Amino acid sequence: MTTLAREPATLTRDALTVLQPGFTGTSAPDWLLRRLGEGLACVGLFGRNIASPEQLAALTARLRAERDDVLVAIDEEGGDVTRLEVRGGSSFPGNLALGVVDDTGLTHAVARELGRRLAACGVNLNWAPSADVNSNPDNPVIGVRSFGASPPLVARHTAAWIEGLQGAGVAACAKHFPGHGDTAVDSHHALPRIDAGPDTLAVRELVPFRAAVAAGTKAVMSAHILLPALDPARPATLSRAALHGLLRAPADEGGLGFDGLIVTDGIEMRAVADAYGIERGSVLAIAAGADAICVGGGLADEDTVLRLRDALVAAVTDGRLAEERLAEAAARVRALGEWAKSAGGPDAARRIAPAPEAGLTAARRALRITPAEDAYVPPTGPVLVAALTPVAGIAVGDETPWGVAAELIRLLPGTTTTAYGPEDVAGRGAAAVVAQMLDAAADRRIVAVVRDVHRHGWMAGVLDTLLAARPDTVVVEMGVPQAPPRGAPHIATHGAARVCGRAAAEVITGVTTRVTTGNEAGH
């Protein structure tokens, strides 16, 4: 039995401090407010917690009334992964679109405007950006969330994004260390493995994270991935070799020299939870060098918080977790809370000039059109939008709308839509699905909307059949444009954010729209 150096109440308080839980509903439950008074120092928000900017601002103000240095965290990458605009789609393109444009000034401006909107709502920690190098085109979870496949490009845009966001007083969190780009498995479902050696990691995965540290990122999020070159037994989140030996170690010892907050990816994700359970996983993560446990994507109740708190306390009591390590982790959480308290919030947002055009400008510049746009003749009347819809990843969620239909309906009255998924093709075959499309279209132009067609055989089969029957079909690829472009024209948006769909609709119709008030104008 370990002899504790501090009072049990202090130990319990520290155990609460290192947790970053979520909750359900659009107002703070009583249990959450009570735990803030007992030491909880961070609350994680998801789409389920947000109805409007005004509601979000009231929610964060209520949390802050209970604890003025509380970290209010959100997973707001922009692009496909949005919580702030979960029901309408993001006003900002995601990382891949920004990487394609390759203008770090634009990336900085987009992140600064996103940060301004978060700060205005009282959010002060963003679990973003993704600093992963998307070196595997079959990656099911990163894809358009990455700036690209080139380590130097990802590095310079990661740094610009961090500097833009933190310039608005919102702490950035570069993820998913040491790099989730070379995987074909989603860590929400299972444990990915990267067999790259140390030399490859140094010149590929680690390059953007070194840039993030140099740019002053306040936090880094660990990945639930196994890299035998670092640790053959445990995923990075639970590996002292990865977190302490690589991320924390000084440069002269081969490390990145990071001294900010290390946050885990969601501890309830199956890559950790299936093998270790969330209680043991949390203990191992803190022991390995993590400072905060992200939890709440699927576990969002008081019981989960108490189970994790008690597991950390018990681990210190029986000697599995050093008391000093837990205290160090809690101190880092509080230090970031103090920084955010002084740097961010609505007052900081008011000092920044709004840039409502930043997101749409970036989305327009990210479009790649084949053949050249000047060879394209827009339709003069309504079209049929046929969306080929893959199953949404957990990180993206299936509640966020995507595509070009809403904008085309607005710009081309009479436009109608239809959608097909893998189950339609499995049940009826590509030919039958296309026949139904052709019947619905009649003599109208068809706009086929796809997402990562190179990853989905059923989607490619439908598209092949459709283009053979109607070669004048416009194809809009809203994922990673890995497959050869086909269509009349083929429009690659490099992401499925609302503004990406709007930019594509402008090309399809030949009508340029203006930024208006509402979500795009900020609050």
Interatomic CA distance for residues 487 and 386, integer angstroms: 14
**Rounded-to-integer distance, Cα 50 and Cα 24, Å:** 10
Residues 6+ apart with CB under 8 A from 504: 367, 404, 407, 476, 478, 491, 493
Nearest to 42 by CA among 171, 154, 163: 171
Token pair recorded at residue 332: 């880092």
Strand partners, 446: 384
Report yes or no: 220 and 212 within 8 Å, Cβ to Cβ.
yes
* Partners of 126 in the β-ladder: 74
Instruction: Please list, residue by residue across 490-503, b when 16 or more beta carbons sit within 10 angstroms of its beta carbon and e when fewer do.
Output: bbbbbbbbbbbbbb
Q: Are 128 and 212 in contact (CB under 8 A)?
A: no
Q: Which two tokens stand for residue 402?
A: 């995507």
Residue with tokens 């601002």: 57
Q: 262 pairs with which residues across the strands?
A: 220
Query: In 466-476, which positions are buried (b, 16+ CB within 10 angstroms) versus exposed (e)?
Result: bbeebeebbbb
CB atoms within 10 A of CB 483: 20
Residue 265 a catalytic site member? yes
Phi-psi region of 438 (alpha: psi -120 to 50; beta: other; left: phi over 0): alpha
Q: Any idea what the Cα angle at residue 471 is, between residues 468 and 364, rounded to 5°?
A: 130
CA-based nearest residue to 42, from 291, 229, 212? 291
List the structure tokens of 460: 């490619």
Reply yes or no on whether 188 is catalytic: yes
Cα 86 to Cα 497: distance, rounded to the nearest angstrom: 10
User: CA 192, CA 162: separation in Å to the nearest integer?
Assistant: 27
Catalytic option among 132, 265, 291, 424: 265
Using alpha carbons, select from 162, 168, 92, 167 the residue that is nearest to residue 130.
Answer: 162
User: Measuring CA to CA, how many Å separate 436 from each of 190, 384, 465?
Assistant: 37, 12, 12
Q: Is the dihedral of CA 446, 450, 454, 457 positive or negative?
A: negative
Identify the active-site residue in 108, 176, 188, 224.
Answer: 188
Could you give the residue numbers annotated as active site? 188, 265
